[in-house]
Chains A and B, each alone.
Chain A
Amino acid sequence: MHVFTDPVNLDAYLSGFLWILKLTGASALFSLVIGVLLAAARVSPIPVLRAFGAAWVNIFRNTPLTLIIFFCYFGLYTTLGLVLSDDLNLNNYWLGVLGLSVYTAAFVCEAIRSGINTVNAGQAEAARAIGLTFAQTLRIVILPQAGRAVIAPLGSVLIALCKNATIVGTIGVMESSNVMKDLINENGDAVIPIFLVFAGTFAAVLVPTGYFFGWLANRLAVKR
């Protein structure tokens, strides 16, 4: 464990996970907003919107995240000149958030749509019967119930997002996987402890998170 008693390495380890947290947090927020809007578009009465939502989901769900992140950097930034921040580190961070968000939004959309399908048809019929519009039906009656049904799937999406945040290391953000790679290269005698600390940190955070979402889902489930 001598690797982590060195304050330099310890700092690198901590800042690596801080980047993961920042990437996860910002992307979770954006992808949730985009995902809900996409899900609403996909069940809306307007064919153009439905097609737009379907196209988004099919394009981003079937493209490797690595390629999306790669394109955000080499396509949007290097070639097309999209600059999101003057600070190079922050620019890469925001490019990563952009890639993670558009990718994850497709999965959020599909999770919410499957949740909408679990809501009893009678609920929507009753809402229509008392004269609510489509937007009101969705907002007041359907989405709150669908939301409770998709807590576990959304938890899985969040966990996957957290793990996917490591891929942003591809474009130079010094997140955990990059830090681990550097530490391994500098400390060949301690590769096992280094791996166990990094992998163990992810496992220690994400396994309980998964169980927490499962517990929450059971607790809040709409009993039918």
Chain B
Amino acid sequence: MSSNTVLYDHPGPRARVRNAVLTVVFSIAIAGLLWWIYSKFDEKGQWEARLWEPFTEPTTWTQFILPGLQQTLMAAATGMVLSLVFGIVFAVGRLSDHRWVSIPAGVVVEFFRAVPLLLMIFFIFYGVPFLTQQPMSAFWSVVIGLTLYNGSVLAEAFRAGIHSLPRGQSEAAFAIGLRKGQVMQMILIPQAARAMLPVIVSQLVVLLKDTALGYIVAFPELLQRGVNDLGANYGNIVAAAIVVAAIYIVINSMLTMLAGWLDRRSKRRAYRISKTTTVPMPAVAQVGGAGEKAGDD
């Protein structure tokens, strides 16, 4: 359905009255809900100025929020680069003509998509030191976990993108004498990456959000510094959580808007994914589209 307005008629006199009444009723209900939340907060003294004052002081930002944000962004950026590399390598591996490459690559991708990220991070942080006899840094536990998980999801996205390309693309490339590696590298991957750009960006939002798991292994990222430590210092955990949530929402909304803009832009281009191809939708990729089999082998 192209537009939601198809679902209902253009309102006539009666429908306009009914919509107006419903608008008022729901507005009152939502206002009532917000008022209830406000008064509950008020009851517990959560609106006291001393809880919100810290956010007007520069030291709060320079000591807690900004260093946390910096760590979050650093982990996210490192994870993004590594998971893109991981994704391309394993997508190509899974598409390999050699079964001894494609089967292990498939197993790795399916495995890491199915294992909860927290389990991975716990294993890397608490388990690997027993094997290496060396402490594991929280930063790398988080980054490696993020890479394995998001890289596997991206591998599936790349693979779906490559499957979505018309066969003529690779046939023509083989016809002019390119080898399989060259066809992948010069013809298929660039187009697949472009076709899948919105999905890839959406997955990067997931990656950024998942850095918050670093809190669990005491990695000083935004949730740890901005909510836990800040809240412990000023006793304003609710206020801190609201401020930090707002920061996350702003950053992720910008990334989501970027994905939407790329999507609209790619729709105007000549080569785009045809509507009939099964492609993991951005909304699905956002939660980690494990288990969705995109494209046929």
Contacts and interface: CB of A to CB of B under 8 A. Distances in A.
Do A and B interact with each other, yes or no? yes
Nearest to A158: B291
A128 B287 CA distance: 35
B119 A202 contact: yes
A222 interface: no
Contacts of A117: 1-2
B122 A207 contact: no
B114 interface: yes
Nearest to A152: B292
A202 B215 CA distance: 23
Contacts of A22: none
Contacts of A75: 237-238, 241
B241 A70 contact: yes
A114 B285 CA distance: 13
B40 interface: yes
Nearest to A141: B7
A210 B115 CA distance: 13
A52 B237 contact: no
Contacts of A188: 130
Interface stretch (B23-31, B59-67, B180-188): B23-31
A213 B292 CA distance: 8
B181 to A, nearest CB: 30
Given A63-B249, A66-B215, A180-B119, A207 B1 contact: no
B115 A199 contact: yes
Contacts of A114: 281, 283
A160 B290 contact: yes
Nearest to A125: B6
A58 B249 contact: yes
Given A65-B209, A79-B44, A194-B127, A156 B287 contact: yes
Contacts of B231: 74
Chain A: interface size category: 35 or more
A83 interface: no
A163 to B, nearest CB: 4
* Binding site secondary structure of chain B: helix
Contact of B27 (A48, A63, A202): A48
A206 interface: yes
B209 A64 contact: yes
A191 B127 contact: yes
Contacts of A152: 278, 284, 292
A67 B244 contact: yes
Interface in B255-296: 256, 278, 280-281, 283-284, 286-293
B210 interface: yes
A116 B8 CA distance: 14
A195 B112 CA distance: 13
Contact of A199 (B123, B209, B249, B287): B123
B11 interface: yes
B58 to A, nearest CB: 24
Given A70-B223, A121-B2, A137-B8, A63 B209 contact: yes
A79 B19 contact: no
Given A134-B8, A157-B287, A211-B291, A184 B122 contact: yes
B227 A67 contact: yes
B291 A155 contact: yes
Contacts of B196: none
Contacts of A116: 1, 4
Interface of B: 1-4, 6-9, 11, 15, 19, 22-23, 26-27, 30, 40-41, 44, 46, 110-111, 114-120, 122-123, 126-128, 130-131, 205, 209-213, 215-216, 223, 227-228, 231, 237-238, 241, 244-245, 248-249, 252-253, 256, 278, 280-281, 283-284, 286-293
Given A121-B3, A161-B287, A189-B130, 10 more contacts: A58-B249, A62-B252, A62-B256, A67-B241, A75-B237, A124-B6, A160-B289, A195-B127, A199-B119, A199-B123
Interface of A: 43, 45-49, 52, 58-59, 61-67, 70-71, 74-75, 78-81, 104, 107, 110-111, 114, 116-121, 123-125, 128, 134, 137-138, 142, 152-153, 155-157, 159-161, 163-167, 169-170, 176-177, 180-181, 184-185, 188-189, 191-192, 194-195, 198-199, 202-203, 206-207, 209-211, 213-214
Counting from the closest, the 6 A-B pairs by CB-CB distance are A210-B291, A64-B212, A62-B252, A160-B287, A191-B127, A110-B283
